[in-house]
Structure 1
Amino acid sequence: MNLIYYFFGTRCQAVPERLFVPGSGQGNSLSKTGALVAVLATVLASAAVPFAVAGELEGVRATSFRAGSSDVDRHRSSRETPTVTAIRRASPSVVNLHGQKTLRNSAASHAGAVGDVAKQVNGMGTGVVIDSRGYVVTNYHVVEDVYEINVTLHNGETTRADLVTSDPSSDLAVVKLRGSGPFETIPQGHSDDLMIGESVIAIGNAFGYVHTSTVGIISALHRDIPVNETQSYHDLIQTSAGINPGNSGGPLLNIDGEIIGINVAVRVGAQQIAFAIPIDQVLETVNDMVTRHNDRRFVIGLRGTSDRAGGLRVVDLNDGGSAQQGGLKPGDRVLKVQDRSVKTPLQYALSVLDATPGQKLRMEFDRDGEVYETFVATLPNSGSTSDPTASLAWQVIGVAVRPASDSFTRRMNSQLSTSYRGGLVITDVRSGSAADEQGIQVGDVLLGIHSWQTSNLSDLAGILEHPEIQSGPNAKFYVVRRDKTLYGHMQLASQTGTSRR
């Protein structure tokens, strides 16, 4: 049977189809038993390429040795191809991601291991800056279970990033760079008009070699790639550009230097068969991710769509919502939020991402050719949601959660000699909530409340519906943070009264 390999450093895992994801994580496949393999890539050039000075280098002009400016200009023009220009245009907005995660190796007998062992694995991946404040899109499997996301910028500076929101099913995540910025953003292209045979460029952290650039063509479009029994990629771009472990989350560019896809996988054992998620699909998914993240924290009550004339066309308003109270009407075009221009739903979602519940946002909008200004409040979210468990968790504890991966459960049981069935990863913390007051952080894993385990969402639902919890007790909780088990006590909000603020 063919195999798909997911790579995290030198760790890989076998599942049907022979494909691997060239990033630092394993996505939803962590529940499968993996095999440890060593990967070594040796790049051989067919001809030596000498180092040379062309035009300007580090601010030093090559004027002292040129015979004539016209000769140099002709020489430079023949070397500065569209590929060179495209890479130069996009590179400043590409970041290289590094981190560590602990993986259990249950099938490493060929590597000399006996039984189950925990192993610290170095991971690597790539991301692209989509907002000048430092918001970066990458693959979910690059940052999954990584405790500290270390970042190398284009200029060689290093910083860290924090996970903002993620969607494992689409294998996408958004992280935010630490630092004031502004950061250069990736030029945006489209993937609805791609042509088979057109030139493309990949930039990424290939095998840890930061900002590695490779070229190829679009080999095919609309590829559906199965990963395992529960996950698959749909409508991918197939390319011949060289993609390796560490390229995951990096950009696939057109010849104009615009991003047209996010590199995600290659076919193991084949040459020049790689895949990227189309950028139109990426931006739509990221917009949904950021919007859900915002909706968990506060309510504005505005939905809109892109408008050819520019701005975000208001399509619908919640009755009594803050956007309606601020005077907005369907058909208005939102032009700015605070000092940030808005042209698409994603730009609108990103423009309010830094807002806090209760904050008043300045909005500039167009109505019938006249520009107006209003202030719209971000009303605190009461926890209303279509998922009763998520609603209770947000109201009573003040957290949004998702199930932890199976690899985390196995690792915790091995390290602590326990029999935990699982845990819930904290993806968001409501300001002023019981969780916030006790210092619970995004990325912590909730293991239990009182004497009950929170191994999955069903467990959490049963706990929150228990009479002892509904009265709003002082509850003992257990969390894991960077492989350390912590506990504390928090005063839960009573479900019979108003929620905590």
Structure 2
Amino acid sequence: MRFNYQNIDTCLTASATSNPAASQPAALTGVRGAWVWGIALAVITAMGAWDTASASAEDLHAVSATSYRNSAADDDTLSIKRQSHRETPTVTAIRRAAPSVVNLHGQKTIRQTAASLAGASSDVARQVNGMGTGVVIDSRGYVVTNYHVVEDVYEINVTLHDGSTTTADLVASDPANDLALVKLRGAGPFQTIPRGHSNDLMVGEPVIAIGNAFGYVHTSTVGIVSALHRDIPVNETQSYRDLIQTSAGINPGNSGGPLLNIDGEIIGVNVAVRVGAQQIAFAIPIDQVLDTVTDMIIRHNDRRFVIGLQGKPSREGGFQVVDLIDGGSAQRGGLKPGDRIVKVDEDSISTPLQYALSVLDAMPGEKLRVEFQRGSETYETFVSTVPSASEAKDPVAALAWQVIGVAVRPAGDSFTRRMNSQMQTSYRGGLVITDVRPGSAADEQSIRVGDVLLGIHSWQTSSLADLAEILQHPEIRQGPNAKFYIVRRDQTLYGHMKLAVQPTTGRR
């Protein structure tokens, strides 16, 4: 039997509201009514007991102001002697993380087909309210959330921890992994979420969820890590992989919010619950989230401008240059493979995500100050963000766009290690598709952004140099019906596409 899973708030619910008290569910009304009746019953019972006992004035003992003050002083003395246990690690963790959690809400239009009595059908549009949660990962206001929280939302409204409100703009998204990056409007700096790791989680360790549950902003719940590495099918077209299962209370509106460890560090992004179950919820591991968000930002930057370098994490810290485009801005600035970028303008760089974020606010044509280390020496240079239209000045990029219809970048060492480990292969690498030209050979074969090109014909495309050599091959220049190999979500696929014929004088 196939289990039925759902996103916490895949469909933006019409019942959502930013003021929960304005539209309480019927169940809460019943509870409130029973509670009021219980108070009334208690009062009636007390009155009956009073009458039966016929209490006299002698049974009453006045408490003087002096005796009350003395009692309070005694309580204070006791509290000094006895250390309070109320401020638990959970309290400290929530206090540490809560200021970087934001609540998202907005409207989207959905269309439904309605049938009339005459048998005709028509599209009926209606507005529905939705809600979700996000976490601030950069002090300039960049927030990570689930894609289904902001999908097709006309205006993303945000409530911050202090109760103030603003709006946000969608910057980049990855629907396949259900993640999105939005930017808060307004003056920063904004407090960022403390980051943990998900590669060392233990089943049974305590966790905390914070989110906009049913519109109740900044609701906190606790639980444990119930299981790790869960693969969850949502529907016929979407599934989640390698999730954290938790018993923390997760409800509609928690989507995109943080799952914290007991130190108040984010170790996951809450994404789904098991329909009809209790205390079975799931979160995307934070290591996976940060890798996906980094790729999202790099793709977004690549569409706006070209710097001309590829990099990877460095054990010594910083962002290590791996490859450079010949004649590109980074190469002209003096950078070489092996250099470690440690600062861009005023931003210190220790991870690929920080490097991607550091250039996210840059405009095409802007010069960036780059500080890098080569050996034991530290240098400074300036690189330009060349508008993407100038990408065609690079012969390899121009040919890939013309002949295949793709823009690419190296997939990196982590991809190569994972593929060789899982598939028992000897791939030397691959090229991530960052853009697909409409109407091209790649587009006709449904190649997507995020796919990794492994090879064309019998040749591996493990690097930009490999691709350049392949595209210059006489057989490829004639525009054959070429076999290609790609990886999509760790699954190797192949197909055939008709490559464009290259004019004999087309290359310089």
TM range (shorter): 0.5 to 0.7
Residues 447-492 of structure 1 deviation map (CA, whole Å, 9 limit, x = unaligned): xxxxxxxxxx77xxxxxxxxxxxxxxxxxxxxxxxxxxxxxxxxxx
Give the alignment of 1:43-62 within 5 angstroms.
none
Contact 1:24 1:125 in 2 (8 A): no
2: distance between equivalents of 1:270 and 1:159? 35
Deviation at 1:331, TM superposition (A): 1.8
2:126 matches 1:140: no
Q: Tell me how far 1:180 sits from its aligned partner.
A: 1.6
| Residue range with higher mean Cα deviation, 114-123 or 204-213 | 114-123
Amino acid of the residue matched to residue 216 of structure 2? Y
Equivalence for 1:19: 5
AA aligned to 1:169 is: A
Q: Distance in 1 between matches of 2:8 and 2:334?
A: 49
Residue 249 of structure 1, CA deviation: 0.3
Between the aligned partners of 1:245 and 1:268, the Cα distance in structure 2 is 11
Q: Aligned equivalents of 1:40 and 1:175: distance in 2?
A: 35
Q: Which residue of 1 aligns with 2:416?
A: none
Aligned in 2, Cα 1:42/1:301: closer, same or farther, shift over 3 Å? farther
Q: Name the residue aligned to 2:354.
A: 347
Residue 372 of structure 1: how far off its partner (Å): 1.5
Equivalent of residue 378 in structure 1, options 381, 385, 393: 385
Q: State the distance in 2 between where 1:108 and 1:332 align.
A: 65
CA gap of 1:107–1:69, structure 2 versus 1, over 3 A, is: farther
Label 1:298 to 1:102 Cα distance change in 2 as closer, same or farther (>3 A).
same
Match of 1:211 in 2: 218
Question: Would the aligned equivalents of 2:114 and 2:124 in 1 still touch at CA under 8 Å?
Answer: no
The alpha-carbon distance between structure 1 residues 203 and 75, as it changes in their structure 2 partners (threshold 3 A), is farther
Q: Which amino acid aligns with 1:22?
A: I
Aligned partners of 2:255, 2:404: CA distance in 1, in Å? 31
- Amino acid in the other structure paired with 1:245: P
User: Which residue of 1 is the match for residue 288 of structure 2?
Assistant: 281
Normalised to the residue count of structure 1, the TM-score between the two structures is: 0.65
Listed as ranges, the matches of 1:186-197 within 5 Å are 186-197=193-204
Structure 2 stretches of 5 or more lacking a match? 13-23, 36-70, 408-434, 436-442, 445-508
Q: Paired residue for 2:206, among 190, 199, 209?
A: 199
Letter in 1 for 2:88: T
> Which of 124, 129, 137 is the equivalent residue of 1:130?
137
The aligned amino acid for 1:285 is T
Q: Is the 8 A contact 2:209 2:222 kept in 1?
A: yes
- Residue 303 of structure 1 aligns to a residue whose secondary structure is strand
1:187-235 per-residue CA deviation (whole Å, 9 max, x = no partner) reads: 0011111110000000000000000000000111111111222221000
> Matches of residues 97-496 of structure 1 in structure 2 within 5 Å?
97-106=104-113, 117-382=124-389
Q: For the structure 1 residues 390 and 344, does the alpha-carbon distance in structure 2 shift closer, same or farther, using more than 3 Å as the test?
A: farther
Change (3 A) 1:270 1:377: same
Count how many residue pairs are aligned between Structure 1 and Structure 2: 357
CA, structure 1 residues 157+72, in 2 after alignment: closer, same or farther (shift >3 Å)? farther
Q: 1:328 to 1:197 in 2, by over 3 A?
A: same
The amino acid of 1:157's aligned partner reads S
Gaps of 5+ in 1: 3-16, 27-37, 48-63, 394-427, 429-456, 459-501
The residue number in structure 1 matching 2:98 is: 91
Aligned to 1:398: none
Residues 367 and 212 (structure 1), Cα distance of their counterparts in 2 relative to 1, 3 Å cut: same
- The structural deviation recorded for 1:268 is 1.1
The answer to whether the Cα contact below 8 Å between 1:312 and 1:348 also exists between their aligned partners in 2 is yes
Q: C-alpha distance in 1, partners of 2:73/2:342?
A: 51
The one-letter amino acid of 2:182's match is V
CA distance in structure 2 between the aligned counterparts of 1:390 and 1:294, rounded to whole angstroms? 21
Give the alignment's TM-score, normalised by structure 2: 0.64
Q: CA deviation at 1:69?
A: 7.2
Tell me, yes or no, if the aligned pair for 1:199 and 1:217 is still in contact at 8 Å: yes
Q: Cα offset for 1:365?
A: 1.3
Letter matched to residue 9 of structure 2: G
8 Å CA contact 1:23–1:249 kept in 2: the answer is: no
- Deviation track 1:154-210 (CA, whole Å, cap 9, x = no partner) reads 000100000001011000000000012000001001111111000000000000000
CA pair 105-318 structure 1, distance change in 2 beyond 3 A: same
Cα offset for 1:318?
1.7
Q: CA deviation at 1:42?
A: 5.1
Q: CA RMSD for the aligned pairs?
A: 3.5
Amino acid at match of 2:99: P
* Matched letter for residue 128 of structure 2: V
Q: What is the rounded CA distance, in whole Å, between the counterparts of 1:364 and 1:144 in structure 2?
A: 38
Q: 1:259 to 1:74 in 2, by over 3 A?
A: farther
SS across alignment from 2:268: strand
Identity %: 72
Q: Deviations over 1:318-368 (max 9, x none)?
A: 221111111112222111101011110010000000001110001111222
Deviation at 1:20, TM superposition (A): 2.1
- Give the whole-Å Cα distance in 2 for the aligned partners of 1:137 and 1:125: 11
Using a 3 Å threshold, how does the CA distance of structure 1 residues 42 and 108 change in structure 2: closer, same or farther?
Answer: farther
8 Å CA contact retained: 1:24, 1:143: no
Distance 2:334 2:287 in 1: 32
Q: CA deviation at 1:40?
A: 7.0
| Structure that is richer in helix per residue | 2
Letter in 1 for 2:249: G
Alpha-carbon offset, residue 306 of structure 1:
1.9
CA distance in 2, matches of 1:96, 1:74: 41
Aligned counterparts of 1:145 and 1:200: Cα–Cα separation in 2: 32
Letter in 1 for 2:265: E
Structure 1 residue 108, shift from structure 2 partner: 11
Tell me which amino acid in the other structure corresponds to 1:161: A
Report the secondary structure of 1:23's partner residue.
coil
> 2:5·2:233 contact (CA, 8 Å) conserved in 1?
no
Report if aligned partners of 1:305, 1:312 keep a CA contact under 8 Å in 2: yes
Distance 1:186 1:307 in 2: 23
The question of whether the paired residues in 2 share the 8 Å contact of 1:19 and 1:266 is answered with yes
Distance (Å, rounded) in 2 between the aligned partners of 1:325 and 1:72: 68
